[in-house]
Amino acid sequence: MHLLDLSDGQLEAWLAERDQPAFRARQIRRWLFASRATDFADMTDLPAGLRDQLAADFRLWTTGVAAHHVDPDGTEKLLFELADGQQIESVLLRDGTRRTICISTQVGCAMGCVFCATGLDGVVRNLTRGEIVEQMLRLARLLPPGEGHAPAERLSHIVVMGMGEPLANLDALLPALGEAESKDGLGISPRRITISTVGLPAAIDRLSDLGTKYNLAVSLHAADDELRERLVPVGKKIALADILAAADRYFDVSGRRLTFEYVLLAEVNDREEDARRLARLLAGRGALLNLIPYNAVAGLPYQTPSEARTRKFIAILERQGVNVQTRRRKGAKIDAACGQLRRIKGEVPSTVVPLSG
């Protein structure tokens, strides 16, 4: 069993069955999250017999790092091989003093966004709680521990924007994020954790009902249902109006400002009329619009808009009072930018066809 799949209560119960005090669970967690242990043998303040029992019953790591890529901009990407042979990718981003990790929640993705590499091969399965937490810990171990007077670098932000649709795997994601924000876990404030979703109203409402305080980023990519259905096939079943209504309810409950994401595709959704429709769609919402110029995926027929066209799109939105931010491209040289993560490297399926405006 994967040790990171256990809740605190389950670990304490396992310890109790072996006549070990509950405080041993805190010691184990400290080794996992603070001391960067990589083996049960490293946990030197545990009795030798307990370390042997842990090693007999659990695996500390269930993934292997199949590849490690480093971009000149400081971005690092890990290709993980899971215990069943499946693969996922996760990213560490450096920006000033910020150290952000982008984590995955599924092997592949079922949402089918036509411009995204992740969904080209479909979805295989959800990740477990432990597999999600293990990504966090392995990415954290890429940061220098600190030497002499230099302080150790720490993770500051988490974005759940990697492979998969996070809201389709809430049963594993929410406990994993609980470990991330726990004081004896990674200690990251929920205000610095963002969940990105294509927009599943029932799951957004579940977040509202649970009272979570994470930031929510909702991917639009179009300002009308007709175009969105072509870009995001799941949109055939979910209207934009229903997505926005669920997002508004989350804002009312959480108080966290909403972010809407929009990938700009040249000659597809970057026209002046698209900008005006988008401004009308977001009118009256104190939300942030995160514009993402398309990051090229080998074999896909889409193009990044010119800077001039992007500036014109932004200007129209800003004149209508929309708060716009353009996402900085990080990790593009190692295929680690938004929309470039993929579990299978190879040819793009022949069924992919270009979309005209």
pLDDT at 357: 31
pTM of the model: 0.90
Please, which residues bridge with residue 99 across strands?
94
Q: Are 302 and 340 in contact (CB under 8 A)?
A: no
- In the chain, what are the domain boundaries? 3-57, 64-334
Instruction: Give dist(CA 175, CA 4) in Å, integer.
Output: 11
Residue 81, burial from CB neighbour count under 10 angstroms (0-12, 13-18, 19+):
middle
Rounded to an integer, what distance in angstroms lies between the CA atom of residue 44 and that of residue 223?
57
Residue-level pLDDT at 339: 56
Q: How many Cβ atoms are within 10 Å of 105's Cβ, its own excluded?
A: 26
CATH number of 64-334: 3.20.20.70
Spatial CB neighbours of 195, under 8 Å, sequence gap ≥ 6: 160, 166, 167, 173, 207, 214, 215, 216, 217
Place of tokens 């055939």: 236
Amino acid (one-letter) located at 236: K
Calpha distance 312→111 (Å, rounded)? 30
- Among residues 110, 112, 106, the alpha carbon closest in space to that of 89 is found at 106
Rounded Cα–Cα distance for residues 229 and 236 (Å): 5
Count how many Cα atoms sit within 13 Å of the Cα of residue 262 in the half-sphere of its side chain.
33
Closest CA to 240 of 208, 285, 210: 285
Say which CATH topology domain 3-57 has: DNA polymerase; domain 1 (1.10.150)
pLDDT for the residue 352: 32
Nearest in space to 223 (alpha carbons), one of 270, 258, 257, 292: 270
Rounded to whole angstroms, the Cα distance separating 341 from 9 reads 35
Structure confidence at residue 45 (pLDDT)? 94
Residue 231 contacts residue 221 (beta carbons within 8 Å): yes
Looking at this protein, which amino acid is placed at residue 170? L
Contact 355, 231 (CB under 8 A): yes
Q: Where are the beta strands (DSSP E) in the chain?
A: 64-70, 76-81, 87-95, 98-102, 106-108, 123-126, 157-160, 193-197, 215-219, 259-264, 288-293, 323-326
Give the type of residue at 47: P
Q: Parallel, antiparallel, or unpaired: how do β-strands 323-326 and 193-197 relate? A: unpaired
Q: Three-state SS across 65-122? A: EEEEEECCCCCEEEEEECCCCCEEEEEEEEECCEEEEECCCEEECCCCCCCCCHHHHC
For position 350, what pLDDT does the model report? 32
| Per-residue pLDDT in tens (0 to 9) along the chain, 357 residues | 999 999 999 999 999 999 999 999 999 999 999 888 889 999 999 999 999 999 999 999 999 999 999 998 889 999 999 999 999 999 999 999 999 999 999 999 999 888 887 777 789 999 999 999 999 999 999 998 766 656 678 999 999 999 999 999 999 999 999 999 999 899 999 999 999 999 999 999 999 999 999 999 999 999 999 999 999 988 788 999 999 999 999 999 999 889 999 999 999 999 999 999 999 999 988 889 999 988 887 778 899 999 999 999 999 999 999 999 987 665 555 655 565 555 555 433 333 333 333
What is the reported pLDDT for 356? Answer: 33
Could you give phi then psi for residue 268, rounded to 5 degrees?
-115, -55
Residues acting as catalytic residues: 89, 338
pLDDT value for 354: 32
